[in-house]
Structure 1
Amino acid sequence: MADDLLVIIPTRGRPQAVPAIVQAWDDTGATADLLFCVDTDDPELAAYKQHAVDLKGDGRVRFTFGKRRRLCGTLNQAAVKNAGGYRFLAFLGDDHRPRPAAMPWDARIRECLSGGPGIAYGNDLLRGEALPTAVAMTSDIVQALGYMAPPELVHLFLDNAWFDWGRGASCITYLPDTIIEHMHPAAGKALNDDGYLEANSNERFTADRDAYENYSATRLADDIKKINALKE
């Protein structure tokens, strides 16, 4: 382990995001470890594998290749697997880009979460304080819950869960000066490719919304209790 913070990035169909994100690490002075999670059935698999070869000498960067589990499933598998080896875990989409600041964004996250347990998020210039579309948390939360996001979700409403966990357990911090820009079509910063069209379809929205409403009604309170227990 080269660092105490692991940033997990599930990615599909966007191999061009890999060098752009690594460049963002360089531009911001980030030292956090970076894990790209790639599906073995990805149409762009060859390009991802070439990036893995090209970046083999960069000690910050790793790749995993596995069967498609969709965003939430892939994130949870990587988070649970790595929670014992890192003090902090973070999620960025492959369309998030950290931006330079007075203090490197990953250093600010470590500072914020050093008292743990806790959840922190920066300003994505889209939802801002309203939702943590990119998030970091102490790894003991993942270990206590057994996941980094409710496993009944597929792609949407993960950020609602993180927000509700943090508010419910009074352990969430918004970092307005820590910019992790969301280069999303909703912000006019990307085109609607196949990945966005699938993830944001009416069917996906309805299914994930219903799943989150059920989770909120049945298990959210228990998960908040587990997070609060970490403070004892």
Structure 2
Amino acid sequence: MPADLLIIVPSRGRPHNIAALWDAWQATTTGAAELLVAADDDDPTLPGYRQVCGERGIELRIGPRRRMVPTLNEVALERATRHFALGFLGDDHRPRTLGWSAHYLAHLQSLGSGFVYGNDLVAKDRLPTQWAQTSDIVQTLGAMIPAHVTHLWADNQIWDLGHAIDRIRYLPDVIVEHCHPLAGTADDDDRYQEVNHPDAFEADRLVYADWYANQFPADAEKLRTLIGASR
């Protein structure tokens, strides 16, 4: 029987990160959650993903390269009917708090419909760089991240939607560390340079701005209708 919470990790070029994430996962995660890694079929390091996931029993989904957010949305829509909630971790996030996934699930069950995120030790309460949400939101919006960005400004959308319906909870004592070059906890690499390039940043910013101005009000209203119907 599928777990109530599925955590999706899109990843490229970093099978070693999945091995490190699994070590943290094993040390902290209860049976409340399952892990799925989404890799690209053209990734030169795909054999490494097959080995890491195969040896550890991690579910590996392989598909065409669509970039992080489109892949996340695709997997979320595929799995939304099978799990009460869906979550996102980057391959550079590391759960540190024992039972973190159970805390996420308990808060989501209390909300009925909504979002939850922990303390990543970088953005902290300011942005959910990792989060979980109830699957009914994915089904209602037709996406986990409604604006079609490639990587950046996804967490801003979760913040906006969650606060629009007052159904987002920050758990400061639940640590899911974001190991990132900006925090001095990860080495810079080609992936970081690609997604944080000024041109990539600006392209995603414009997509987000257009969504916020033109689609966000309607998306927020869909979620208000959802939570009204569930009361």
- Give 1:12-91 correspondences, 5 Å limit: 12-31=12-31, 32-55=33-56, 58=57, 61-91=58-88
Percent identity for Structure 1 against Structure 2: 44
Per-residue CA deviation, residues 123-163 of structure 1 (Å, 9 max, x unaligned), is 00000000000010000000000000024211100000000
The code of the aligned residue for 2:55 comes to D
1:131 pairs with 2:127: yes
Quick check: 69-78 or 46-55, which moved more?
46-55
Residue of structure 2 equivalent to 1:114: 109
| Contact in 1 for aligned 2:9/2:91 (Cα 8 Å) | yes
Give the whole-Å Cα distance in 2 for the aligned partners of 1:207 and 1:68: 18
The code of the aligned residue for 2:212 comes to S
Give the whole-Å Cα distance in 2 for the aligned partners of 1:26 and 1:2: 18
| Contact in 1 for aligned 2:73/2:145 (Cα 8 Å) | yes
Give the whole-Å Cα distance in 1 for the aligned partners of 2:30 and 2:190: 30
Per-residue CA deviation, residues 173-210 of structure 1 (Å, 9 max, x unaligned), is 00000100000111111111000000000001000001
CA pair 24-7 structure 1, distance change in 2 beyond 3 A: same
- Say which SS state the counterpart of residue 227 (structure 2) adopts: coil
| Contact in 2 for aligned 1:96/1:182 (Cα 8 Å) | yes
| Contact in 1 for aligned 2:147/2:208 (Cα 8 Å) | no
Give the whole-Å Cα distance in 2 for the aligned partners of 1:225 and 1:106: 29
| Contact in 2 for aligned 1:83/1:89 (Cα 8 Å) | yes
1:162 pairs with 2:158: yes
Quick check: 143-152 or 159-168, which moved more?
143-152
| Contact in 2 for aligned 1:73/1:151 (Cα 8 Å) | no
Q: CA RMSD in A?
A: 1.0
Residue of structure 2 equivalent to 1:150: 146
- Say which SS state the counterpart of residue 231 (structure 1) adopts: helix
Structure 2-normalised TM-score? 0.95
C-alpha displacement of 1:19? 1.6
- Say which SS state the counterpart of residue 217 (structure 2) adopts: helix
Which residue, out of 220, 226, 231, partners 1:224?
Answer: 220
Q: Which runs of 4+ in 1 moved over 2 A?
A: none
Quick check: 222-231 or 72-81, which moved more?
222-231
Higher helix share: 2
User: How many pairs were matched up?
Assistant: 226
The code of the aligned residue for 1:89 comes to L
| Contact in 2 for aligned 1:72/1:151 (Cα 8 Å) | no
- Say which SS state the counterpart of residue 116 (structure 2) adopts: strand
